[in-house]
A and B are shown apart, each in its own frame.
Chain A
Amino acid sequence: MELLEIKDLTKSYDKKIALNNINIKIESGKIVGLLGQNGAGKTTLIKLINDLLTPDKGEILVNGKKVGIESKKIIAYLPEKTYLNKQMKVVEVLEYFKDFYDDFDLEKAKKLLLDLNLDINQKLSTMSKGMQEKVQLVLVMSRNADLYILDEPLGGVDPATRDYILDTILSNFKENASVIISTHLISDIERILDEIIFIKDGSVILQSDADSLRNKEHSSIDEIFRRMFKC
């Protein structure tokens, strides 16, 4: 059974079609790059998997079951937005995650926050956006989930932070879990990808193993992407 299976998924906003009949299969233990330009439909797809949008047509199965309480137990999701209640202190947010997610590793989260020199008694409203995003990354990566979904985790950060984020992802995701990373910054991330999914104008135009694609095309994923997405 696939960890994630998406069948004939279609989603439109008003009359604009955002995703058009998408089919994807992702198995356990893979790091998958969801690659496409801004507005291609990456975030729409991710939001559908996380029950933040309702499909017009099609099905999303997580471990064979429809999106719901069971899928939410095993998916750790990092949205692009800062979504925590700003009135809360970091330590309260930790408690919140501990309360709701059985797989949340509180000690790990504390350690990661300590590495970042973050004071857990600080209120989120007094932190910069970048800091809040790091807190969110820590929260998500401190879960022992089966599927991590990270929406543009590298968007708009400096190279040092980029390295930190990639490191945190690599050294913290649970063994045999899968990770979906959406991004349009491919060169920074392609060395860690097992598989890639190219998404363009709401359609999946390619799903492939990363190394076989490199072998076949004799070039980097980044270059292949540029070629395929040339305007």
Chain B
Amino acid sequence: MLKKLLKYDLKYMLKNMSVFYILTIFFALTTRLFFSLNQTIIIQVISQISVGIMYALIANTLINTLMRSWLRFRDSIYKDEAYLTHTLPVSKNNIYDSKFIQTLVFFIAGFMVIILALFIAYYTKERWQLLKEFINTITTGLDFKPVVFISGFLAVVFLELFNAIQCGFLGIILGHKKYQNKTAFSVLFGFVVYLVSQSLVLAMSYVVGLFNESIMNLFKFNYLVDTNAFKLLMILAIILYVVIIFITSIICKKELNKGVNVE
């Protein structure tokens, strides 16, 4: 049944997001096109407009994915569409998992579109070389392979954002246990859950620090960050976020299974 739920959840998101993806890529192309033309004043103006729109669309891709994931979650579990969602012969876990995977998929898709757009708009051999060198300077100091550094960094950013989305889900679930001001409570609880999750990451890092000096040094401001600690911290952050995301999703499902109250 998860497959069937997912089919419709993905379809819905694709229907609503694809137009933004196409626009983002389109304006990345126009940006590149206008920059490659002879830069008369008019072309310059048009180029700048194109860049502006592209960045707006890039921001939109992120924000839209975020907001749409939350709103879609709320609508299909607590609003009118909930009348269908909760009367389908599927488990609450499946309903949650479907939303979780849908969000994950479209978050990754959004990331890819953004990277692709930037690549289209700005790629030249020289710039690529410059970027490589820039990363190399950072990573040689940190004893990292550039690829590992980049993917590690992206993974942390991605997990951090994804954690925020899921904290929003839990906030929505907790907020809708209230009988009034559900939206306000959802935002409030979401924020609280997010703070708690961040503090947990910090606390757990500290606990790890008790057993590892180089991590502990990060908590002491008078020490310079040593290269080993940075690497460890990145790995630690990834593990901790995965754990936190896992725990939060279990709490979400548990709360959902206690039952809902749809207006």
Contact = CB atoms under 8 A, between A and B. Distances in A.
- Asked if A and B bind, the verdict is yes
Interface of A: 13-14, 47, 50-54, 69-70, 72-73, 75, 77, 79, 81-85, 87, 96, 99-101
Contacts of A99: 4, 7
Nearest to A11: B261
Contact of B89 (A72, A79, A85, A96): A72
Nearest to B83: A83
B154 interface: no
A52 B83 contact: yes
A54 B259 contact: yes
B179 A13 contact: yes
Interface string B209-244: 000000000000000000000000000000000000
Closest 3 CB pairs of A and B: A54-B259, A83-B83, A72-B89
Given A14-B180, A54-B261, A69-B90, 4 more contacts: A50-B87, A51-B86, A52-B261, A53-B260
B89 A100 contact: yes
B4 A100 contact: yes
A226 to B, nearest CB: 31
Nearest to A50: B87
Given A51-B86, A54-B260, A100-B88, A85 B4 contact: no
Contacts, number: 63
Contact of B83 (A14, A69, A79): A79
Contact of B258 (A52, A53, A54, A70): A54
B84 A83 contact: yes
Contacts of B80: 81-83
B83 A100 contact: no
19 contacts: A13-B179, A14-B180, A50-B83, A51-B86, A51-B259, A52-B83, A52-B87, A52-B261, A52-B262, A69-B89, A69-B90, A69-B91, A72-B88, A83-B81, A83-B82, A96-B8, A100-B1, A100-B88, A100-B90
B33 to A, nearest CB: 34
B125 interface: no
Interface in B244-263: 258-262
B37 to A, nearest CB: 40
A109 to B, nearest CB: 15
Contacts of B91: 69
B79 to A, nearest CB: 9
Given A69-B91, A81-B80, A53 B12 contact: no
A77 to B, nearest CB: 5
A79 B80 CA distance: 10
A108 to B, nearest CB: 19
Nearest to A78: B83
